[in-house]
Amino acid sequence: MSSQATANTDIVTWLEQNPQIEVLHTAVCDLNGIMRGKRLPIDQARRIAENGIRMPLSIVGVDVWGEDIIGNPMVYSSGDVDGICSPTGRGALPINWTTRPSAMIPLWLFQDTQTPFLGDPRQALAHVIRRYAEIGLRPVVATELEFYLVDPDAESAQPPISPYTGKRLDSDAILSLDELEDFGEFFRDVYLQCEQQNVPADTAVAENGVGQFEINLLHTDGLKAADDAVLFKRIVKGVARKHKLVATFMAKPYGTRSGNGFHVHFSLNDAAGNNVFDDGTETGSDVMLHAVGGLLAGMAETTLLFAPHFNSYRRLRPDTHAPSAISWGYENRTTAVRIPGGSHKARRIEHRVSGADANPYLVLAGVLGAALVGIEDHIKPPKPFKGRAYSERLPKLPADWASAVNAFEDGEMVPRIFDQTLQSMLLACKRQEIAGFASQVTDLEFSAYLEVV
């Protein structure tokens, strides 16, 4: 029996061993990283495990508001055909923040019983990882996700009230143990739920912003790392609701405070388990340098994956602990691509562009895909940058959402990473969202212009 079949059988076994579960959800991850699916009776678990369920292929291509995309080829021109949603192999995952005992089965989309639907973000990442396997390499990935806890009763982002002191947080307190202790019960439940869902949560720290935290996820293979990040975001938001808080992974919930980043660390192992980025020196191997070259060469056209929303571009500004230039360097946190120090045996690349609002599957597909192109084409990077990498002489990331969309459409590397279906769906999705924001008049505009101009 295959590992996939074994995992699917385990769904039924697990539910039989946990008869307290009353609610079963099944879900796929859409282009925006939002889980969408169905609630089903528990007695349908065996059918789902063995045969999957049918949902429209277009379900992964709706906009951030859940609306169908006008012009989406998966909707009107094809008759909005169904695909087969099969379990990913993760099993049934317990959920402890709901009012009734619940579980979720993560799914991914196939066109038929054997053919992956490459418009599905998880399938897109799996496709990139299969290409690495064809040349005898396996990506090893770790992620760092930042988020804010905010007051659920406020109409705009406001720091939370400490459950310990009863006072609202009012200062940036980087690496504050007091803030971690103030929200100790919240973190206890996050770690417990991560353990139950096999999400390898490691260190938690208080970050730069008031009420901002970061939890690192330990390294694992590339597809599981993306699964872990998607599930982690859902865990944090669900546990926050249980504790009468709101957790947000918005790239920039406060205009004048630090944004939420999603940093990706990765290396590549060969068939023997050797890190091919390690050549015994501080410089790193030619394979690593070519991977860096690919990341830089494709960075402008893949920025949309790392900054997919209107709010994302508030984060990518100079001197904001986020990059604004296409650059790399050794031990330089102002660059977009950083080579961390430490033992050469752990030589790796850190990609620092993405915001925490991005879809982890698309982020890793974009990062690993561009690195693979760099390796295949032996792309040499420029000299590593030293000092403050917000220099005007460095090439810049797209400055706004529309520019990033156009770069994603026109780029030469994107078609080498993604199937045309996903590229077309994402472009249509983002252009519809841009139009949605453009049609709204903000409170700031109204107050600034109503009687003045």
Q: What is the pLDDT of residues 119-132, one digit of tens each?
A: 999 999 999 999 99
pTM value? Answer: 0.94
Q: At what angle do helices 121-134 and 222-242 cross, to 10 degrees?
A: 150
pLDDT tens-digit profile of 256-308?
889 999 999 999 999 999 999 999 999 999 999 999 999 999 999 999 999 99
The residues with which 37 forms a beta bridge, in sequence order, are 27
Q: Are 118 and 423 a contacting pair, CB within 8 Å?
A: no
Is pLDDT above 50 for 1?
no
Q: Are 149 and 187 a contacting pair, CB within 8 Å?
A: no
Domains in the chain with CATH codes:
3-117 (3.10.20.70), 131-418 (3.30.590.10)
**Per-residue pLDDT, 323:** 94
Q: Are 267 and 275 a contacting pair, CB within 8 Å?
A: yes
Positive or negative torsion for Cα 36, 39, 42, 45? negative
Section 193-221 average pLDDT: 92
pLDDT tens-digit profile of 334-352?
999 999 999 999 999 999 9
More confident residue, 367 or 318: 367
**Per-residue pLDDT, 159:** 84
**Per-residue pLDDT, 8:** 66
**Per-residue pLDDT, 210:** 83
Rounded distance, CA 154 to CA 15, Å? Answer: 39
pLDDT tens-digit profile of 27-84?
999 999 999 999 998 988 888 888 889 999 999 999 999 999 886 666 666 667 899 9
pLDDT tens-digit profile of 109-121?
999 878 999 999 9
